[in-house]
Chain A
């Protein structure tokens, strides 16, 4: 079912996925296909992973905000690191790239900016909204 749906999308560059209609989308469905193959090819297993991300993601995002406000760079870095990996698996390329930037900045000793966290939040919201749509998982 999902494979049929992905035929209406095409990859147009690293981190940017566009629908044939020209709309920018948050999720690279090719990454989801790869993830499903990786865990054995079962749709149910992929769904379990997506649900885990939908459940685990918001607290991590929240943690990134609170740690940034508290100037706890190490905690910001850990949260960004975790979200980066999960986002990459889910095909949330923009979110993954923004998180990688936050992590790199914290690793170099610089404080993460609230603007960057805001970007991450927007990319995150887009990604989970789209994942919910794809997998019929309402709020």
Chain B
């Protein structure tokens, strides 16, 4: 037997089942036998068969019911059925079975030659139908892939037409050409989307940096009135918290505090500590000890630290281009520090060394935000809650160091400075959260360059600090470095699922001849 098939025998008589099974096996086919219609349907749902030999008169579920059920299921409707019947007295039953979709009939006292002929004919037809169905299925896959391509959001490696393209006929050629074209379109569109994201990210980053850059000279101005780094942080967080929570309540995006999970609270507490208690107080404190533009310049090292953290944690792919971009930015800073004649630097090396902690803690904040920010909570509401948590940490600290700003001072120049710092700092933080969510920690950390540039600019404008000419060359290097560190690569698109009918159909591919045959 060159082309054996798998045959299911359904008969309530054990002796007949044995007879049919042995006869079928004698012809070289595989056979399984069950005693009623229910068992047959269960087996057909679990396994593939090329033919069913079906008795009509059976208890539990007769042959007509089995036929009706088989022909209504897309999985089994193409499995041929031969009804087993006595020619003498059951002709009306045979006619009814054929009307219900049976392929043929076999008398119970059949001859071996007749059994062989009917089985061969049915299996041949079934296999031709399988080939046809497989062809149609692949045409449908190709059509679906084309529709997906038209929608513009696809991943060429997941279009699911690899098997179609492997065919050696015209359909295979069509699929192959289609797959190549799809790859080209995908690359082009992906590049375009990446450029848009880079441009949008750069704008957001510059806005964010411009605002944050204002904070350092303003904190310097505040320290010139009277240095209260913790008190200053409290007031700024208080204004920020009122603003964010007010907005969230008005927009209805404020989550119920009881709905926050344990990990949400952990995020709030850790971010409040890093962002407000450490970073904010450190910057305000150092601004009173160093020129504002120096603090701004040190902040730029944040990008380098974030890149190293992200590479070590493997959260973003390190690449030579990104590394060079960061190196270029760092070179700009080195030029400023060692050749920029910053004047006061000579006498403040200790404070400068302490200031180097800032980029490390900023980088920690960036990575933490990028990796652990709860996606289910609105960013503004979450930041408001973080600021409240910050206040709860800062107030005891301020009480301990007696660092509250006297109310009398707030009525004058310091009050205006505090309000400006609150607006700039908190708005910058909100923009930064949006930036880091869409572009990743490494790209967002380039914000530090913008902060530095803006800090230098604001320092010149507000404090009249003299900036050496070489600083501008350094800033140019920083900007080029920024452009080289692109946003993180977008995740691959998931292809749309194939429709149910295609998924349900499971052809016996091992039985289907190759397309060339």
Contact = CB atoms under 8 A, between A and B. Distances in A.
Contacts of B86: 84-85
Contacts of B366: none
Given A40-B26, A107-B89, A81 B57 contact: yes
A21 B22 CA distance: 35
B466 to A, nearest CB: 107
B26 A86 contact: no
- 8 closest A-B pairs by beta carbon, nearest first, are A40-B26, A39-B22, A52-B15, A85-B108, A53-B15, A86-B15, A82-B13, A38-B23
Interface in B1-52: 12-16, 18-19, 22-23, 25-26
A51 to B, nearest CB: 9
Interface in A32-81: 35, 37-41, 45, 48-49, 52-53, 56, 78, 81
B57 A48 contact: no
B23 A85 contact: no
Interface string A100-115: 1001100100000000
Contacts of A104: 89
A106 to B, nearest CB: 11
Contacts of B13: 56, 82, 85-86
B57 A39 contact: no
B15 A49 contact: yes
A89 B14 contact: no
B89 A100 contact: yes
Interface range for A? 20 to 34
Contact of A86 (B16, B23, B59): B16
A88 interface: yes
A7 B58 CA distance: 38
Contacts of B16: 85-86, 89
Given A39-B22, A52-B14, A52-B18, 10 more contacts: A38-B26, A38-B110, A39-B18, A78-B59, A82-B12, A82-B13, A84-B86, A85-B109, A86-B16, A107-B89
Contacts of A85: 13, 16, 86, 108-109
24 contacts: A37-B112, A38-B23, A38-B26, A39-B22, A41-B26, A48-B18, A49-B15, A49-B19, A56-B13, A56-B14, A56-B15, A78-B59, A81-B57, A82-B12, A84-B86, A85-B16, A86-B13, A86-B15, A86-B16, A88-B108, A88-B109, A89-B15, A89-B19, A104-B89
Contacts of B26: 38-41
B500 interface: no
Interface string B80-107: 0000001011000000000000000000
Nearest to B110: A38
Contacts of A40: 22-23, 25-26
Given A49-B15, A52-B18, A56-B13, A38 B89 contact: no
Interface in B302-327: none
B18 A49 contact: yes
Identify which of A37, A49, A56, A81 gathers the most chain B CB atoms within 10 Å of its CB: A81
Contacts of B23: 38-40
Nearest to A83: B13
Interface in B384-416: none
B360 to A, nearest CB: 84
A40 B22 CA distance: 7
Interface string A2-30: 00000000000000000000000000000
A108 B301 CA distance: 100
A67 to B, nearest CB: 12
B27 to A, nearest CB: 9
A41 B110 CA distance: 16
Contacts of A78: 57, 59
A88 B88 CA distance: 13
A102 to B, nearest CB: 11
Contacts of B110: 38
Nearest to A104: B89
A62 B46 CA distance: 36
A89 B377 CA distance: 77
**Residue among B13, B15, B86, B109 facing the most chain A CB atoms (10 A cut-off):** B15
